[in-house]
Amino acid sequence: MYFDTHLHLDYEPFFRELPTVVERMKAAGISGAVNAAINVDSSKKALSIHKKYPFVLPAAGLHPLYLKGREPLAELSALLRAGGFRAVGETGLDFWNGRENEELQRECFHFQVLLAKELRLPLLLHIRKGFYETLSVMREAGYRGPAVYHNFTGSLDMAKKALDANLYLSIGATVTYPRKENLRRVVKFIPADRLLVETDAPDLPPWSKKGELHDPADLPETVRALAEALGVSGEELAETTSSNARRLFLGEE
């Protein structure tokens, strides 16, 4: 059975077709998932999805690319304190297109790190061109994890530093792309108990569906490609990553 640690069922067209989407997920063998949020409304939707489909765990957070100000922080705090969520995120730092709103990103991320620390929840980290700054903010907040590095595609040095910071590394469909040989080399150095898998659906589809909508039921394709890179069976990797996710988000041993 598979566990998708990062997807967005609150996005359209998934949200209006949830019964069908969930049916496809279950048919593909997906027994667990985490719905990452991008803003307060998205966080509320994640919780509503969980109430209908308990195997889809809810996260609440403010995505760095969708920040419009500091006003949502208080509402996010109240929402998380009310309970029911299994993670804080998707949050982090994204300087891919520049640093015009760096101060706002840092402030909102720091706030969410402190919330995760207080509520003892894992973080779902969105990191682009801000890896070392992300670790710095977490250190400043005294947050020692655990956290998930969503869609990890970094270098071996980044993997080592992430592991030292008590991060899990979640691998997405990028591993299926022919030109991502470096990623397929780096994943071999990730300890089995710190490895996770994800779709990020509807974004980042596997190579076979490049340019198309990424369906959550496509997760087995990513697992097969990652398993091949690691030299293990797809079944073994599915079991390992599912066990890791259940330990992290549900406290199962």
Confidence of residue 99 (pLDDT cuts 50, 70, 90): confident
Please report the domains of the chain, with CATH numbers, ordered by start residue: 2-250 (3.20.20.140)
pLDDT digits over 29-75, tens only? 999 999 999 999 999 999 999 999 999 999 999 999 999 899 999 99
Residue 100: per-residue pLDDT: 85
pLDDT exceeds cutoff 90 at 90: yes
The 10s digit of each residue's pLDDT in 6-42 is 999 999 889 999 999 999 999 999 999 999 999 999 9
pLDDT in tens, 224-251: 999 999 999 999 999 999 999 999 999 9
Average pLDDT over residues 212-220: 96
Instruction: Give the neighbor-by-neighbor strand order of the sheet with 2-7.
Output: 2-7, 30-35, 56-60, 87-94, 123-128, 147-149, 167-171, 195-197
CA 62 to chain CA centroid, nearest Å: 13
Judge whether residue 253 has pLDDT over 80.
no
**Packed helices 219-230 and 234-250: angle between N→C axes, nearest 10 degrees:** 110
pLDDT digits (tens, 9 = 90+) for 137-175: 999 999 998 999 999 999 999 999 999 999 999 999 999
Which three-class secondary structure string do you get for the chain? CEEEEEECCCCCCCHHHHHHHHHHHHHCCEEEEEECCCCHHHHHHHHHHHHHCCCEEEEECCCHHHCCCCCHHHHHHHHHHCCCCCEEEEEEEECCCCCCCHHHHHHHHHHHHHHHHHHCCCEEEEEECCHHHHHHHHHHCCCCCCEEECCCCCCHHHHHHHHHCCEEEEECHHHHCCCCHHHHHHHHHCCHHHEEECCCCCCCCCHHHCCCCCCHHHHHHHHHHHHHHHCCCHHHHHHHHHHHHHHHHHCCC
Q: Phi, psi (5° rounding) for residue 70?
A: -95, -10
Q: What is the mean pLDDT of residues 196-218?
A: 96
Instruction: Provide the whole-model pTM.
Output: 0.96
pLDDT of residue 181 exceeding 80: yes
pLDDT value at residue 98 = 84
Tell me: the pLDDT tens digits for 118-127?
A: 999 999 999 9
Nearest C-alpha neighbor of 64 from the set 141, 8, 127: 127
Reported confidence tier of residue 190, pLDDT bands at 50, 70, 90:
very high
